Amino acid sequence: MSIIKATGICKTYQRGREEVCALRGVDLTLEPGEFVSIVGPSGAGKTALMNILGCLDTPSCGTLTIDGVQVTGKGEAELVKIRREHIGFVFQQFFLIPTLTVGENIGLPLLFSGTPYDPAKIEILLEKVGLAHRADHLPGQLSGGEMQRVAIARALVNSPRILLADEPTGNLDSVTADGIYRLFEELHRQGITVIVVTHNRELAQRAGRVIAIRDGCVVAGS
């Protein structure tokens, strides 16, 4: 069974009195454990698509199934549940809370899902992202690459099968970006379905499949 199946996805935004068509009928099927890149020019609709795949936003038309769960037509409370159980999301900005420790930042989603904070679990995640024994540091004591690793660990805390990353290396130098991609490759080896938006052609090629988007349509790799 496909882990993501999107059919005829459209997204229209209202900008004042003008309608902006960000997605115009996107069909996309991903098998469990795939590592996929999404590329395309600025404004092509990559973020619009990621937000819909990640259940952060709803499509104007079309249908979406995540991990066998029909998403289309669900209300916000149900979308929150689907997001929590199936999806981890990483952004270009790390969105760490500066006054919380690394461990507390990683554990924050547990708070929202009513799961007790588990220091052993946090330590395992920190090890996974290459930051063992940094649980008590504050984000301000970390480099950009380390902060993104913390954000990735936070995205993994509910053990999602899908990791979505929108321009995760956009703020990082090429050596640091390479390290983040090694981590994605490792997570992919562990069976997680990884989808990464990037402007970097070289990084994009490291995925098993490259999906190109232009003017709201998939033009290659679907």
Ligand X SMILES: Nc1ncnc2c1ncn2[C@@H]1O[C@H](COP(=O)(O)OP(=O)(O)OP(=O)(O)O)[C@@H](O)[C@H]1O
Q: Which residues bind ligand X (CB under 6 A)?
A: 13, 15, 20, 22, 40, 42-48
The whole-angstrom separation of Cα 100 and Cα 103 is 8
Which of the ranges 47-55, 88-96, 98-106, 153-161 carries the binding residues for Mg ion, by CB under 5 A?
47-55
Q: Which is closer to Mg ion, CB of 21 or CB of 110?
A: 21
Q: Closest by alpha carbon to 4, among 75, 81, 86, 92?
A: 86
CB of residue 45 vs ligand X: minimum separation in angstroms?
A: 4
Nearer to Mg ion by Cβ, of 46 and 149: the residue is: 46
Work out how close the CB of 190 gets to Mg ion at its nearest, in angstroms, rounded to a whole number: 27
Partner from Mg ion, ligand X, none contacting 48, C-beta within 5 to 8 A by type: ligand X
Paired residues of 34 in beta bridges: none
Q: Which of 47, 51, 193, 198 binds Mg ion (CB under 5 A)?
A: 47
**String of b and e for 146-174 (b: at least 16 CB within 10 Å)?**
bbbbbbbbbbbbbebbbbbbbbbbebbee
What is the β-pairing status of strands 69-70 and 61-66? antiparallel
How near is the Cβ of 38 to ligand X at its closest, in Å?
A: 9
Partner that binds at residue 203, options Mg ion, ligand X, none, CB closer than 5 to 8 Å by kind: none
Angle at 157 between CA 154 and CA 158, to 5 degrees: 130
Minimum distance from residue 11 beta carbon to ligand X (Å)? 8
**Interatomic CA distance for residues 119 and 60, integer angstroms:** 41
**CA angle centred on 83, ends 171 and 47, rounded to 5°:** 40
Of 82, 81, 71, 86, nearest in space to 32 by CA = 86
Binding-site partner at residue 20 among ligand X, Mg ion, none, CB < 5 to 8 Å by type: ligand X
Rounded to whole angstroms, the Cα distance separating 79 from 57 reads: 9
Q: Which is nearer to Mg ion, 52 or 106 (CB)?
A: 52
Judged by beta carbon, residue 87 or residue 213, the one nearer ligand X is: 213
Residue span binding Mg ion (CB under 5 A) among the ranges 7-15, 43-51, 77-85, 107-115: 43-51
Give me the least distance between CB of 52 and ligand X, in Å please: 10
CB of 217 to ligand X, least distance (A): 12
Give the interface size with Mg ion as a residue count (CB under 5 A).
2
> In the numeric block, which tokens belong to residue 79?
């979308």
Which residues of the shown chain bind Mg ion in the complex (CB under 5 A)?
Answer: 46-47
